[in-house]
A and B are shown apart, each in its own frame.
Chain A
Amino acid sequence: NAGVMQNPRHLVRRRGQEARLRCSPMKGHSHVYWYRQLPEEGLKFMVYLQKENIIDESGMPKERFSAEFPKEGPSILRIQQVVRGDSAAYFCASSPLENEAFFGQGTRLTVV
């Protein structure tokens, strides 16, 4: 049973480009969460999705950030027009229930 799969593991983008981060939840998990971790800080909630629905996006910046979890395929976190402050590790977690969250290995985004 594969764990939560995130790709790419490392992503380098120039300022102004778009970053697309993908997350495939564990088999049987229909809840997906995205968190951001700045260097030497804790994880901050961004968005909670179920298939084809955004349940809670209260942690998502209002501009440039969007997320989706389509009926087929992985969940996508999209960051448009990236800036240096977007450099961070982005973690996806999935769960079959609302509390038992299992995390992926993360995508480390570097904006140059």
Chain B
Amino acid sequence: DAKTTQPPSMDCAEGRAANLPCNHSTISGNEYVYWYRQIHSQGPQYIIHGLKNNETNEMASLIITEDRKSSTLILPHATLRDTAVYYCIVKSGTYKYIFGTGTRLKVLA
């Protein structure tokens, strides 16, 4: 599975959009991009996933570049409760997630 690179930390003002980047330059054609987040003292929580097209659900939007070498998770209106570590994972249809160290997002009041 492809390796991902994320910035270690980011800040975002409450109510503004949070844009979390992820580089996955070695991604292969059948590999999906997944995003999970982990709020303090909780287990990781699924947010969204995509293959080629941009995706949106009630939590977030996922923008994948045309060459699929990078993606951005967008939280449109960040709240204090979105403060968490966000993990970008690239994997194929197998079960194995390989978590990196993620991006620690702090939403500021």
| A and B pair up | no
Interface residues of A, Cβ cutoff 8 Å to B: none
Interface residues of B, Cβ cutoff 8 Å to A: none
